[in-house]
Amino acid sequence: MSLNARPSLAEFSKVVEAIYDCTLDATRWQDALKLIVAFTNSCHVGMGIIDHGKKLNIYRYGAGAISDEDVQIYFQKYALMNPLFVARRMYDVGQVVTTEMLVSEDELLESRFYREYAEPRRLRYLMTIELLRTGHRSAGIAGYRFSDQPTYGSADIELFQLLSPHLCKACAIADALDLRTITSQVLEATLDGLAAGVYLTDRQGRIVYMNAAAERQAKTGNAVQIINNRLSARSPAVSETLARAIDNATRDETASEAGGHAVALPDDDGAGLVASVLPLDRGMRRSVSTPFAACAAVFVQDPKVAPPLPGEAFAKLYGLTGGELRALLTMAPGLSAKEAGDMLGISESTVKTHLQRVFGKTGTSKQTELMQLLKDSAPPVRPG
Please spell the DSSP secondary structure of 104-130, one letter per residue.
-HHHHHHSHIIIIIIGGGTEEEEEEEE
Q: Is the pLDDT of residue 272 over 80?
A: yes
Per DSSP (E only), the strands in the chain are 44-51, 56-64, 96-98, 123-133, 137-146, 197-201, 207-210, 224-227, 230-233, 263-266, 272-279, 296-301
Q: For the beta carbon of residue 171, count every other beta carbon within 10 angstroms.
A: 30
CB 57 within 8 A of CB 76: no
Same domain, 259 and 295: yes
Strand pairing category for 137-146 and 123-133: antiparallel
CA distance 171 to 138: 9
* Distances from the Cα of 41 to the Cα of 123, 150, 157, 174, angstroms: 14, 10, 12, 26
Residue 263 lies in a domain: yes
**Furthest CA-CA distance within the chain:** 68
Closest CA to 128 of 102, 162, 154, 104: 102
CA distance 311 to 369: 16
- The packing angle between helices 348-362 and 337-344, to 10°, is 110
Q: For the beta carbon of residue 29, count every other beta carbon within 10 angstroms.
A: 25
Residue 259 lies in a domain: yes
Domain end call among 141, 176, 211: 176
Encode pLDDT of 128-179 as tens digits. 999 998 877 889 999 999 999 999 999 999 999 999 999 999 998 888 887 7
pLDDT grade for 185, boundaries at 50, 70 and 90: low
Q: What is the pTM of this model?
A: 0.80
Of the two residues 42 and 190, the one the predictor is more confident about is: 42
Of the two residues 287 and 324, the one the predictor is more confident about is: 324
Phi and psi at 45, nearest 5°, equal -130, 130
Same domain, 39 and 168: yes
Residue 286 lies in a domain: yes
Q: Is the pLDDT of residue 382 over 60?
A: no
Q: What is the pLDDT of residue 304?
A: 64
Q: What is the pLDDT of residue 375?
A: 80
Same domain, 109 and 69: yes
CA distance 315 to 302: 28
Same domain, 211 and 316: no
In the sheet with 137-146, reading across from the earlier edge strand, the strands are 56-64, 44-51, 137-146, 123-133, 96-98
Q: What is the pLDDT of residue 184?
A: 67
Q: What is the pLDDT of residue 267?
A: 83
Same domain, 190 and 88: no
Of the two residues 309 and 86, the one the predictor is more confident about is: 86
Residue 306 lies in a domain: no
Same domain, 247 and 323: no
Residue 3 lies in a domain: no
Same domain, 71 and 156: yes
Residue 4 lies in a domain: no
pLDDT grade for 279, boundaries at 50, 70 and 90: confident
Q: Which domain holds residue 372?
A: 312-377
Phi and psi at 98, nearest 5°, equal -115, 170
Q: Is the pLDDT of residue 25 over 60?
A: yes
Q: What is the pLDDT of residue 384?
A: 32
Q: What is the CATH number of the domain that holds 211?
A: 3.30.450.20
Same domain, 44 and 154: yes
Encode pLDDT of 203-239 as tens digits. 888 999 999 999 999 988 788 999 999 999 988 899 9
DSSP assignment string, 65-106 = SS-HHHHHHIIIIIGGG-HHHHHHTTS-TT-EEEHHHHS-HH
In angstroms, how far is the first alpha carbon of the chain from the final one?
A: 55
Give residue 142's region: left, alpha or beta (phi > 0; psi -120 to 50): beta
Q: What is the pLDDT of residue 378?
A: 57
Residue 66 lies in a domain: yes
CA distance 209 to 198: 8
Domain end call among 158, 176, 194: 176
Q: Is the pLDDT of residue 260 over 60?
A: no
Same domain, 136 and 63: yes
Residue 234 lies in a domain: yes
Number of domains in the chain: 3
Domain end call among 154, 176, 198: 176
pLDDT grade for 258, boundaries at 50, 70 and 90: very low
Encode pLDDT of 59-106 as tens digits. 789 999 999 899 889 888 888 788 887 788 788 899 999 998 988 888
For all residues of the chain together, what is the average pLDDT? 85
